[in-house]
Amino acid sequence: MKQFLAALSVIVLIAAGVSIALAISQAQQEEKRLKSDLEYRSILLAESFKEAIEPNINKSEKALQKIVEKFANRERLAGLVIYDNQDSILLLSPNLTKESLAEQQFAPFAMDEDTARGGFATIDGKKMYLIASPMHEDQSVIGAVMVVQNADYIAARLDEIWKRNLLRLGVQIFLIVAAVVVILRWLIFVPIKSIARSLQSPSETNDGKGGAASWFFSPITKEITKMRRNLMEARHAAQEEARSSLERLASPWTAERLKEFVTENAKDRTIVLISNREPYIHTKKGNEITYHVPASGMVTAVEPIMQACGGTWIAYGSGEADREVVDAENKILVPPNDPKYVLQRIWLTEEENKGFYRGFSNEGLWPLFHHAHTRPIFRKEDWIEYKKVNGKFAQTVLNAIQKKEKPIVLVQDFHLALLPSMVKKSRPDAQIGIFWHIPWVGPESFSICPWKKEMLEGMLGADLLGFHTQQHCNNFIETVGRELESLIDYEQFTITRHDHTSLIRTFPISIAFFNGNEAEADYTQSRKRLLNKLDIDATFIGIGVDRLDYTKGILERLKAIEIFLTKYPAYQEKFSFIQVASPSRETVQKYREFAEDVRSEVERINARFQKGTWRPVTLLERHHTHEEIYELYRVANVCLVTSLHDGMNLVAKEYVASRNDEQGVLILSQFTGASRDLKDALIVNPYNGEQTADAIHAALCMPQSEQHKRMKKLRAVVRGYNVYRWSAEFLKILLSLG
């Protein structure tokens, strides 16, 4: 009995301790919330009163008194006090006295520091919150207005919380005691008594060998033996299943495996991918039509998926020869040299392209989502074209899936935020996923967009919304919570609006991992040949590969190289940096200005440091093939990725994948999504030129063993989570929602 009471006491004490701890935490959180809310509302009131009083400060005392009395009867407002710049009280509410306020120094401090000052105090035996805000005339402090708020309700609220929790604790203790008594009585004591009684049954009739006991334990022993055997078999099966699962997860995702996955899970359903940028651009060289792949992280990531899965890719035809190679339905099989899927092109007028692409997308949304210190520009006429072009894309998609059952629609990036909702309204059976390739900012930043609600409504037409990082997911959900009336499930990360539920998930995009097989002798020869071709004479090579875009931190990178050569002069004439800068959005004024700034900076740095045939920076301002970029990666001792803000940045992963020799060092901006995955890179703040310069020095001085160790880990990350696995995970979740 003593053991029973001791066990019961321990259970009750634990339950009481947990309940009291939770009550304390709840009370502390509630007190913090109430105080924060009171302080916030008091500041708003003070500013509101100040706006009403400042213009009338030089009027008669009677006029000021009317203003004070006007605000005197507000809920929880204990009073209002006006001070002159000599710390003397000019006017105060009738229910306050000068004596009760004599020791309060909030107003003098506020005027001395020219900023609002506040805090809690006891006045006439009551808990109050006081906030004083200075008043100005011609930028001079002429006095202060102080708001006095009743704070007694906070203590009352905390008392209520404690009473409710103590009552709940009493009920819980009663239920626990009752449950323990019932469990011990009927589930333990009674069965044990029964077993003991059976064990104590006469055994003499069984030759004095305890026959009754043997009879009782015999079936128990058999059952225990049987259970043990079953458990061992189940454990073995579980181990085999776990080992099999691990092997499946560890095995690399390839184009063939993705194709099998899609065939098995999507069956014969149509896959339609939509983006603004097309994967192949056809141009003319004389009378000959050629093509090139645009410099785009989205294309780099998504194109291998389409090659593996097939389907239709709908995109804007931007090439001068694009119309000449398509059929009557504006379609062409691609890749041109080994067709795997259909590219269907959409044509835009100059006015549509100007408003939709150059205007709203690149002068509005791009700087808004990248925090690149470039002011977003939003024009109504651009928004009109943006909606119009999204509608044109949506109609093309609807035509493409007209006779298809439960089609899979994959929307790419910020150019087509309205498209999911447009398609969903006409084809609710379509399974729609949108992947946002750029960052998603917080709700305060996004609120700048004049058509924020329409954009969110458009995106929530998708069944699955994918972002690079969890922070981007959090920002999006918080934004929707601020801007739209919807049901948000923070546990499942879903948003339900108008009876449609959208799932929000993180999918850090990657690349199609490749392994070079170049022999060391071939590599040495190709390095020498490439550097001779570029007229570069240096021992150490750095590489940067970007579009000419102000978010990529190219100017900051060049400044860091200048600091590096100044701080470590021994590397002058030994280190050269190659900046691949693919032309981008040349029709946008801000991009033309940025390109000119980059050229000027390269010329300035070269003029400062150049000696003989050596120059510190080589600018390659043209489009390059993947093969050309791979060669450049292979000769670079260090790769600089210094984006000011980037959703992922696949250049970092491409450099890692190219280094099958497990040499070279990656310097990576902390403001890229890739920095969450590639932790063995040298992580820098691109705005800190000194830090980046020191990282370059550390990279060039790093022993080969350390380079090997870091690069091996980086390659394992990129190999383990490549674009095929990314695509499989995205499609698997999207298909599970159907």
- Enter the tokens of residue 562: 């200048």
Contacts of 188 (CB under 8 A, 6+ apart): none
Same domain, 497 and 579: no
Same domain, 491 and 638: no
Domain range for 574 is 521-721
Residue 640 placed within a domain: yes
Average pLDDT over all residues of the chain:
86
Position with higher pLDDT, 157 vs 606: 606
Same domain, 493 and 571: no
Residue 186 placed within a domain: no
Same domain, 622 and 670: yes
What is the band of 64 on the pLDDT scale with cuts at 50, 70, 90? low
Same domain, 21 and 114: yes
Average confidence (pLDDT) over 314-340: 94
Query: 470 exposed, middle or buried (CB, 10 Å; 0-12, 13-18, 19+)?
Result: middle
Per-residue confidence (pLDDT) for residue 58, from 0 to 100: 67
The CATH number of whichever domain residue 430 belongs to comes to: 3.40.50.2000
- Enter the tokens of residue 31: 């007190």
Residue 86 placed within a domain: yes
Same domain, 396 and 283: yes
Same domain, 580 and 708: yes
| Confidence check: pLDDT of 222 > 80 | no
Per-residue confidence (pLDDT) for residue 215, from 0 to 100: 41
Per-residue confidence (pLDDT) for residue 226, from 0 to 100: 59
Specify the pTM: 0.64
| Confidence check: pLDDT of 494 > 90 | yes
Same domain, 126 and 59: yes
Residue 730 placed within a domain: no
Position with higher pLDDT, 613 vs 235: 613
Residue 260 placed within a domain: no
Per-residue confidence (pLDDT) for residue 191, from 0 to 100: 58
Per-residue confidence (pLDDT) for residue 37, from 0 to 100: 85
Average confidence (pLDDT) over 176-186: 75
Nearest to 415 by CA among 350, 480, 364, 473: 364
Residue 38 placed within a domain: yes
What are the tens digits of pLDDT across the range 251-301? 688 888 888 898 888 888 999 999 999 999 999 988 899 998 887 778 888
Average confidence (pLDDT) over 539-563: 96
Same domain, 19 and 92: yes
Per-residue confidence (pLDDT) for residue 249, from 0 to 100: 46
- Enter the tokens of residue 406: 């439960």
What is the band of 202 on the pLDDT scale with cuts at 50, 70, 90? very low
Per-residue confidence (pLDDT) for residue 244, from 0 to 100: 42
Q: Are 537 and 614 in contact (CB under 8 A)?
A: yes
Residue 655 placed within a domain: yes
Per-residue confidence (pLDDT) for residue 632, from 0 to 100: 95
**Rounded distance, CA 719 to CA 427, Å?**
37
What is the band of 700 on the pLDDT scale with cuts at 50, 70, 90? very high
Residue type, 559: K
Last residue of a domain, one of 124, 140, 155: 155
The CATH number of whichever domain residue 145 belongs to comes to: 3.30.450.20
For residue 70, count other CB atoms closer than 10 A to its CB. 12
Question: SS3 for 540?
Answer: strand
Per-residue confidence (pLDDT) for residue 268, from 0 to 100: 82
Last residue of a domain, one of 506, 538, 564: 506
Residue 733 placed within a domain: no
| Confidence check: pLDDT of 643 > 90 | yes
What are the tens digits of pLDDT across the range 377-412? 999 999 999 999 999 999 999 999 998 999 999 999
What is the band of 706 on the pLDDT scale with cuts at 50, 70, 90? very high
Half-sphere exposure of 202 (CA within 13 A, CB side): 4
| Confidence check: pLDDT of 217 > 50 | no
Per-residue confidence (pLDDT) for residue 60, from 0 to 100: 62
For residue 198, count other CB atoms closer than 10 A to its CB. 13
DSSP annotation string for 257-290: HHHHHHHHHHTT--EEEE-SS-S-EEEEETTEEE
Same domain, 708 and 685: yes
Q: Do strands 500-506 and 140-150 pair parallel, antiparallel, or not at all (unpaired)? A: unpaired
| Confidence check: pLDDT of 208 > 90 | no
Per-residue confidence (pLDDT) for residue 167, from 0 to 100: 86
Total domains in the chain come to 3
DSSP annotation string for 204-219: GGGTTS-HHHHHHHHH
Using the 8-state DSSP alphabet, how is residue 326 labeled?
S
Average confidence (pLDDT) over 149-171: 84
Per-residue confidence (pLDDT) for residue 94, from 0 to 100: 78
Per-residue confidence (pLDDT) for residue 267, from 0 to 100: 82
**Rounded distance, CA 366 to CA 438, Å?**
8
Same domain, 655 and 585: yes
Position with higher pLDDT, 173 vs 506: 506
State percent of the chain over pLDDT 90: 54
Same domain, 616 and 708: yes
Per-residue confidence (pLDDT) for residue 317, from 0 to 100: 95
Give Cα separations from 110 to 40, 104, 119, 123 (angstroms).
17, 12, 12, 20
Average confidence (pLDDT) over 305-329: 93
What is the band of 209 on the pLDDT scale with cuts at 50, 70, 90? very low
Per-residue confidence (pLDDT) for residue 531, from 0 to 100: 93
DSSP annotation string for 603-620: HHHHHHH-BTTB-SEEEE
Last residue of a domain, one of 506, 537, 571: 506
